[in-house]
């Protein structure tokens, strides 16, 4: 009897240990194309049944035709969902197209597709946005990722304090802004500002200007300067504030009439505020939110900062 109980106990233990976790079943389902949406005359949204391995997908894996004409695919990139991709194409027309191609899912299952869709001549009127940017401490360059394909021939930026930087496009959506050589490398214990003044997508829509801050040193505890800009009786909603001490050191875009700077010391600085045909200047220090009054003035921002 005792031997029987021991045998039963061993069987229970073995079975229990052996079934703690069932082996994972391999994904063998092939990805399928659920729909194609023409977002505008240059962008198509492809929606798949599951997450697509975009790293192995190239434009030549997909062909889009209408009659005897082929619609060129210039680039493709992920959308908001991992199961969606956006194709940048040549200009479409409002005719029926046929898309034929293949993709792989993350388990390396290949899915072939063939689907028709209606093209459009509706132009792209949505301004691109910055999806992400590299900035902050221990950085020596700026990297910007946009939400859509950009016109790589149009990019205007400024670095303060002045350094000679150049832009190198990684792809149609990403650009690196970095020193042209070692002599222009950013110095330690200095806060640098990048003003991205102009960039546009392939349809000509321009991004709203923005500023980014970097500092090469790893230990960074900045002091903050804040202030406001006003005309005689109202806030100056749109404009640019420039921080200086003998030379321009930083730049800040007004947000609801307010500006913000990161600095290294509490000594006085000058802040110049420029708007549409207005200008004002004031000495300002850390820990005091002063107001800069702007008046009609023809002082040009470009001449001041360059």
- For the chain, the structural domain boundaries read 33-118, 126-220, 222-306
> How far, in Å, CA of 174 to CA of 195, rounded?
17
Q: Burial-class residue 249 by CB neighbours within 10 Å (0-12, 13-18, 19+).
A: buried
* Per-residue pLDDT, 280: 96
3-state secondary structure of 303: helix
3-state secondary structure of 182: helix
Contact 86, 73 (CB under 8 A): no
Domain 222-306 architecture: Sandwich (2.60)
Q: Do domains 126-220 and 222-306 have the same CATH topology?
A: yes
- What are the two backbone dihedrals, phi and then psi, of residue 184, each rounded to the nearest 5 degrees? -105, 10
Contact 85, 43 (CB under 8 A): no
- Other CB atoms within a 10 A radius of the CB of residue 297 amount to 13
Given pLDDT bands bounded at 50, 70 and 90, which one contains residue 232?
confident
- What are the two backbone dihedrals, phi and then psi, of residue 18, each rounded to the nearest 5 degrees? -75, -15
Picking from 243, 207, 43, 42, the residue whose alpha carbon sits closest to that of residue 133 is: 207
Q: The pTM is what?
A: 0.79
The CA–CA distances, whole Å, from 200 to 128, 148, 152, 172, 289 equal: 7, 10, 8, 11, 35
- Each residue of 186-220: pLDDT tens digit? 988 899 999 999 999 999 999 998 999 988 887 88
- Each residue of 52-93: pLDDT tens digit? 998 878 999 999 999 889 999 999 998 888 899 999 999 999
CATH number belonging to domain 33-118: 2.60.40.1220
Lateral strand order in the sheet of 174-179: 130-134, 142-146, 174-179, 165-169
Domain 126-220 architecture: Sandwich (2.60)
């Amino acid at each position: 009897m005792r031997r029987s109980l021991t045998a039963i106990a061993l069987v229970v233990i073995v079975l229990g240990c052996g079934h703690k976790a069932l082996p994972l079943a391999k994904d063998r389902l092939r990805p399928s194309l659920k729909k194609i949406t023409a977002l505008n005359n240059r962008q198509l949204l492809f929606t798949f049944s599951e997450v697509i391995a975009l790293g192995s997908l190239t434009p030549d894996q997909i062909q889009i035709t209408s009659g005897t004409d082929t619609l060129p695919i210039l680039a493709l990139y992920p959308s908001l969902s991992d199961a969606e991709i956006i194709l940048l194409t040549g200009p479409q027309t409002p005719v029926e197209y046929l898309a034929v191609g293949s993709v792989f899912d993350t388990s390396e299952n290949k899915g072939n597709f063939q689907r028709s869709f209606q093209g459009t001549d509706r132009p792209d009127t949505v301004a691109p946005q910055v999806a992400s940017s590299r900035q902050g401490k221990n950085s020596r360059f700026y990297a910007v990722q946009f939400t859509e394909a950009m016109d790589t021939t149009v990019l205007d930026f400024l670095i303060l304090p002045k350094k000679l930087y150049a832009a190198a496009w990684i792809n149609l959506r990403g650009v690196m802004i970095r020193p042209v050589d070692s002599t222009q490398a950013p110095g330690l214990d200095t806060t640098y500002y990048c003003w991205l003044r102009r960039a546009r997508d392939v349809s000509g829509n321009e991004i709203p200007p923005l500023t980014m801050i970097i500092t090469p040193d790893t230990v960074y505890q900045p002091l903050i300067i804040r202030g406001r800009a006003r005309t005689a009786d109202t806030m100056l909603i749109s404009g640019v504030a420039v921080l200086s001490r003998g030379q321009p050191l930083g730049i800040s875009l007004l947000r609801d009439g307010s500006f913000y700077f990161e600095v290294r010391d509490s000594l006085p600085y000058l802040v110049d505020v420029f708007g549409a045909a207005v200008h004002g200047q004031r000495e300002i220090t850390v820990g005091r939110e002063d107001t800069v009054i702007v008046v009609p003035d023809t002082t040009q921002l470009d001449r001041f900062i360059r």
